[in-house]
């Protein structure tokens, strides 16, 4: 009877055990020869273009490290799954990467909703997520001690943009933002920055759907504000359509895009019609001749037929941070030691200071502005 009770008790306990961190081996995904990293990201459709470039840049760094012996003799292998920017699918991907692919840690997540949804899986598995793209500051806070971000926050971008515009005497600032919680957050941050520089409020704002279905109405509304400048927190084709429709409605503001705005693609869509576009950048200038990391990246890009640009350079820099974190985790890495390793990082890469010490979830504060020419080139 006792043995039967013990057996029943054990059987009932198994589902609970499977949901605890103890179910995940601390050094899973690590062998004598390799370290397996996992990624869930939007890799298809119009929104997947930036992440494909990001991944191409990351592979340049991972491949170079592997060619020189890996991290303590272990090659790095990245397994990527497409989540289509859907939170439920992202959660399934993270679980699949852990259970079926046995990944050690995660790299290169994207999107506020998907990463926020995955935070419980990150905490349960203790597998850190390092190096991510395009997500809200609130999501960073929610993922504290589970995920680590290289690029500066949107708040930092908003402050930098408004400070620059204030020095130019721009007092009527409007905002075009994505119609989602992240866009609402950015609008609030721009408003706060505007008010901190002595202005009452933004001149106006418009929330634009991801598919651009309401972009014409939004453009007309923004044109009526007579704004001197429009700050854009948008992505994809709606950007060019917004600009063109505002011009068609007699407005001629300056346009400033946040880092999610791919200025080269906007130029490609507008051609010679493009005028007055600048973007904030959270990565250093990929075409720098003075920085050795940028020169090395360009050389490897050319050899691998990877287009040189901010998106692929961001992947490259994020991969370098991941590599440094893995080295800091030691010769016998565990997930705990990887967390400890990245929290100890304070170094300089590509001319940018990276500092994750003191419980920081964001390593860089770097933001600079770049102008976009009609032929799609960036000029500092």
Tell me how far apart the alpha carbons of residues 165 and 181 are, in angstroms, rounded to a whole number.
Answer: 25
Q: What is the pLDDT of residue 145?
A: 95
Hey, where are the domains in the chain? Answer: 17-152+290-366, 154-281
User: What is the reported pLDDT for 152?
Assistant: 96
pLDDT digits (tens, 9 = 90+) for 158-203: 999 999 999 999 999 999 999 988 899 999 999 999 999 988 899 9
Cα(380)–Cα(369) distance, integer angstroms: 7
Instruction: Write out the H or E segment, with its range, that includes residue 130.
Output: strand 129-130
| Rounded Cα–Cα distance for residues 235 and 142 (Å) | 24
Residue 367 clears pLDDT 80, i.e. is over it:
yes
Cα–Cα distance measured from residue 167 to residue 188, given in angstroms and rounded to the nearest whole number: 21
pLDDT of the residue at 87:
95
Give the DSSP H or E segment for 29.
none
Q: Kind of pairing, strands 173-178 and 204-208?
A: parallel
Q: What is the pLDDT of residues 58-103, one digit of tens each?
A: 999 999 999 999 999 999 999 999 999 899 999 999 999 999 999 9
At 19, the pLDDT band (50, 70, 90 cuts) reads: very low
Residue 50: pLDDT band (50, 70, 90) is: confident
217, two tokens: 């109405």
**Looking at the predicted structure, is the pLDDT value of residue 2 above 70?**
no
| Token representation of residue 33 | 């020869």
pLDDT given at position 233: 96
CATH 3.40.50.2300 is right for the domain spanning 154-281: yes
> Does CATH place domain 17-152+290-366 in 2.60.40.420?
no
The token pair at 340 is 């400890």
- For residue 168, the tally of other CB atoms under 10 A from its CB is 10
pLDDT for 200: 85
Count CB atoms within 10 A of the CB of residue 66.
Answer: 16
What's the whole-number mean pLDDT along residues 302-320? 97
User: Does residue 23 surpass a pLDDT of 70?
Assistant: no
Across the range 285-299, mean pLDDT stands at 97
The mean of the pLDDT values for the chain is 92
Q: Is the pLDDT of residue 358 over 50?
A: yes
Q: Is 218 a residue whose pLDDT tops 70?
A: yes
Secondary structure E strands in 135-293: 147-148, 173-178, 204-208, 229-233, 254-257, 277-281
96-135 confidence digits (pLDDT tens):
999 999 999 999 999 899 999 999 999 999 999 999 887 8
175 vs 369: CA distance, rounded Å: 17
Residue 322 has pLDDT above 50, yes or no: yes
User: How many CB atoms sit inside 10 A of residue 80's CB?
Assistant: 19
- Judged by average pLDDT, the poorest of 49-53, 91-95, 186-190, 322-326 is 49-53
Residue 76 has a pLDDT of 98
pLDDT surpasses 90 at 235? no
Tracing tokens 């634009």 back to the chain, one arrives at 208
Among candidate residues 257, 14, 259, 27, the one with its CA nearest the CA of residue 133: 259
Percent of the chain with pLDDT over 90: 83
Residue with tokens 């905490």: 123
Q: How far, CA to CA in Å, does 213 sit from each of 50, 208, 218, 238?
A: 21, 8, 10, 8
Which of 26-35, 65-74, 309-318, 342-351 has the least mean pLDDT?
26-35
- Domain 17-152+290-366 and domain 154-281, same fold? Reply is yes
Q: d(Cα 191, Cα 205) in Å, to the nearest integer?
A: 10
Residue 312 has pLDDT above 80, yes or no: yes
């Amino acid at each position: 009877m006792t043995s039967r009770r013990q057996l029943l008790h054990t059987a009932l306990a198994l589902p609970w055990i499977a949901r605890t961190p103890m179910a995940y081996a601390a050094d899973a995904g690590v062998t004598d020869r390799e370290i397996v990293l996992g990624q869930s990201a939007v890799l298809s459709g119009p929104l997947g273009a930036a992440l494909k470039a990001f991944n191409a840049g990351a592979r340049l760094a991972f491949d170079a490290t592997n060619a020189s012996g890996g991290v303590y003799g272990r090659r790095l292998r990245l397994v990527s799954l497409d989540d289509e920017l859907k939170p439920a699918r992202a959660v399934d991907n993270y679980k699949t990467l852990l259970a079926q692919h046995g990944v050690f840690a995660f790299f290169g997540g994207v999107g506020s909703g998907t990463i926020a949804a995955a935070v419980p899986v990150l905490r349960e598995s203790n597998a850190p997520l390092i190096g991510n793209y395009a997500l809200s500051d609130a999501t960073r806070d929610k993922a504290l001690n589970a995920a680590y971000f290289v690029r500066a926050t949107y708040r930092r971008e908003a402050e930098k943009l408004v400070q620059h515009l204030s020095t130019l005497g721009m007092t009527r600032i409007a905002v075009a933002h994505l119609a989602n919680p992240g866009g609402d957050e950015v609008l609030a941050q721009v408003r706060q920055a505007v008010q901190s520089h002595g202005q009452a409020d933004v001149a106006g704002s418009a929330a634009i759907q991801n598919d651009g279905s309401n972009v014409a109405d939004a453009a007309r509304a923004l044109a009526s504000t007579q704004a001197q400048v429009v700050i854009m927190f948008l992505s994809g084709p709606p950007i060019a359509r917004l600009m063109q429709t505002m011009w068609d409605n007699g407005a001629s503001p300056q346009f400033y895009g946040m880092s999610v705005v791919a200025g080269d693609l906007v130029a490609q869509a507008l051609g010679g019609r493009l005028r007055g576009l600048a973007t904030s950048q959270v990565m250093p200038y990929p075409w720098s001749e003075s920085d050795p990391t940028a020169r090395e990246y360009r050389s490897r890009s050319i050899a691998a037929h990877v287009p040189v640009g901010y998106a692929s350079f961001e992947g490259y820099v994020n991969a370098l941070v991941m590599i440094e974190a893995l080295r800091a985790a030691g010769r016998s890495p565990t997930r705990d030691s990887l967390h400890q390793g990245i929290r100890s990082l304070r170094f300089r890469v590509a001319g940018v200071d990276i500092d994750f010490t003191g419980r920081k979830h964001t390593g860089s504060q770097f933001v600079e502005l770049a102008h976009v020419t009609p032929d799609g080139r960036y000029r500092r």
